[in-house]
Every structure is written in C-alpha cells, then in structure tokens.
Amino acid sequence: MNNQNLWNHLPGEDTINRVVLPNGIIVLTKSDFNSPSVVISGYLNSGSIHDPEEKLGLSLFTSYALMRGSVFHRYRRIYNDLETAGATLGFSSSIQSTSFGGKSLVEDLPLLLKTLSEAMRWPIFPPVQLKILLSQIITGLQIREQDTTERASLKFDEVLFPNHPYGRSEEGSIETLRRIKRSDLVKFHQQFYGPSGMVITIVGAIEHQKAVDLVHSTLGDWENPIWVPPPTIPEVPNKKFSYREHISIPGKIQTDIIMGSYGPQRTSKEFLVASLGNNILGQFGMMGRIGEAVREKSGLAYYASTALNAWQSAGTWEITAGVNPNNIEKTIEIIQKEVFRFVSEPVSDQEFADSKSNLIGLVPLSIESNTGVANAIIRMERYKLGLNYLREYPGMISGISQEQILKVSQKYLDPNHLVIISAGT
C-alpha cells in the first residue's frame, strides 16, 4: 500500500501538462488514446459571490443562458451542431466560479472549443429564450420549496454562515429571480467574464501541443479590460454554537434531518484527517457508525450518513437522516450519542484499517473515465494540491493516526453544540 511504484500509473506531473497562455488562461492536458473521445472541463473566476442581495441567482441564470444564442449562432443551431456531432457542452455556476464541461470525439474538439468560446465571449441573451429559461428555473425553485432535503440544507447553510457568501442560495429565490432583467445578465457578463485565471482541462485522445494550439486558436485572443475579479471570501470563525429549527412542510410522509457544524477548508492539512474520520463515522460499509446505529440497529431512518464538504475558505461536517416524522427526536438523540462516542475515544483498529483501505481503493475507481481524470485535475489545480496529488494520496492517508482523527474530530464536532435542522410535516 505504501509502495509508491504501485501508484505511478496514476496521472501525475510527468503525464499532465500545464501551460499558461499569454492572456492568463491555464491549460491542463492529459493524453489517453484508449478511446477516440475527449473531455473538456474547467471554470472561470466568476460566481454567485458577485450577486446583489436583491438579485440572488443572477450568476447561475447567466451561466445557463450562455448557450441560448450567440452573435454567430442561434439557440437551435448551437444544439443541432453539437447533437449532430454527438457532442455535449454545458455551463453552471457556484459561489466563486462558473464551470463548464463537455465531451466529443477527438475530431469534433474544434467544434466543441469553438462553441465554448462563442458562448463565453459573445452571448446575446435572446429575450424569448430568457423568458423560457426563467420559467424553467422558477419551476425548479417551486419544486425545491416542497423538497424536505433541500429546505433543510438551505436553512443549515444560512444558520452556519450568516451574512456570508457560503450561506446564500446560489439558485436564489422566486422573488429575487423575478427582479432580474436582461440588462442585468448583459452587465454581469461584461463585468465578470474574462480569461484571467480561467482553467481548462482536456483529457483524451489528443497530444498535448495540439490541444494547447486548439485552445490558443479559439480563446487565446480573449481579453476583457473591464473584468472585475471576485472579492476575497470573508473568514469564517470556527466557533461552536447550538441551534434547532423545524421547517413545516405539510403533507410529507418523511422528515429530513441535517445536523452538524463547521469543517476544515479544502486546503487545510486537517481535511484528509477529517475525511478518514468521516468515512468511519458515516460512510464506510452500511454508512458507518451513524448508519449502523440509526438505520440498522434502531430501524429509525430510511437513510443516515455523514458528509464532509470543503471549499477554499471553510467547510461543513454534516450528518443527515430521513425518518418517519414520529422518530425525529429519537433519531437526533441517537446521533448525538454516536458523535459523543466518536469524539471521546480513538476509533477501533479494525475500522481504522478498513476505512484507510477503502479510501485508498476508491482512487483508481474515480479516474477510470476521462471525465474522472479531468475532474481530478481540476481539483488539483483549484486547490493547489500539486499535480502528483493522486500518487501521493495513498501515502498521506496511510500516515494518518487514530489520535489525529480524534483530535480533529474534537475540534469540529461537539454533540452539545450542533446546528440541527429538520424539514417535513
């Protein structure tokens, strides 16, 4: 497991090529000629952190609208050309970035990159298409209003990150979206879309230099002198506090619970330690200790697990469960007891060893496809992990001790100081 040679077949600094174009675009490539396809993935430094409070959802709306027509091609032509080639391309937006992803046969990569360039640089935001798109987004938000999991998660973030970008809904609300006009999308695009710090990864049946040349020919001349960089994310104080709220949604036969607190940021050395601990607490096997205690032994939940979410400036450590409305308080009580046990004593030797092997074994599975490789490279670039991160990962996991897990868990999890949100009848 610790033999580095066993992991040299994974993507690393000798097989991943990184080039920065003169206009600031970072191009990362990984050749793989085992299939005739190619995957692109990347992001721009623009996200919902730019959204005005009264127009939350503007960044996401803008990203969805990019493919609805450009100076050169109308909506139907864009999608017909992609569909004819068997290619796909899409955009989305998060707090600090607007992401894109697509795939095609290698001979259609020029079409894919050309479509990407036109969508990002010359969208026209046709009023008719914006009306259709807005209707679709609002329909999704109406569905969200009745979704117990979504409602609990939104409130959890809002409570944990008050008056902070991490606590705001990237999708916005029906009210904020209805305030957005076409001119808002145009202005947002003009101010916050540009090549500086843009990252694009290309993985598949193409040589490095040819891939770089294609990106340079389609995006190398992009400039935006009025581009406004995203502001720095405010610091999040890791202070422990208690909060309990139930969101009433009549007519639901299931109540969803989310409990937790802050977690380490992705770039923290504590992240991998917490990841191993999280795997033991609520992921491995039948969803770890939480799943065994709440679902298997007590039979109180339809599901129960944990998750560690981490971003550039903060993170969350969450425990979720779906239960019969009559079992809410009993489920919360059992979860709190399991958290107390988790932070009171080191994990057992057996679950420690099993969880280590599980996390290490997942790495090769996660990069079996070009998409998996592209996503891994994007993460390494975004969080400055280094291009040899995948190869070093087994050694880093193997080097974690039971005492480290206990110490990090005690720092972030306190059974008496958790944010607890439930949503349902």
Model pLDDT, residue 223: 96
**Residue 48 CA neighbour count, 13 Å, CB half:** 22
pLDDT tens column, 235-250:
888 788 999 999 999 9
Domain regions of the chain by residue span? 13-219, 243-424
| Mean pLDDT, residues 213-230 taken together | 96
pLDDT of residue 6: 62
Helix then strand then coil, in percent of the chain rounded to 5, is 50, 20, 30
pLDDT at position 1 is 43
CATH number of 13-219: 3.30.830.10
Does pLDDT of 338 surpass 50? yes
pLDDT, tens digit (0-9, with 9 covering 90-100), for 122-135: 999 999 999 999 99
171 pLDDT more than 50: yes
Does pLDDT of 254 surpass 70?
A: yes
How far apart CA 82 and CA 101 sit, in angstroms, is: 13
pLDDT tens for 174-220 read 999 999 999 999 999 999 999 999 999 999 999 999 999 999 999 99
Mean pLDDT over each residue of the chain, to the nearest integer: 95
Q: Which residue's structure tokens are 């957005």? A: 180
**What contacts 131, CB < 8 A, 6 or more positions away?**
none
As to burial, measured by CB atoms within 10 angstroms (0-12 exposed, 13-18 middle, 19+ buried), residue 415 is middle
Q: Which CATH architecture has domain 243-424?
A: 2-Layer Sandwich (3.30)
| Token reading at 256 | 């969803």
380-424: pLDDT as tens digits: 999 999 999 999 999 999 999 999 999 999 999 999 999 999 999
pLDDT value at 92 more than 50: yes
Q: Identify the CA nearest to 307 among candidates 324, 296, 321, 322.
A: 321
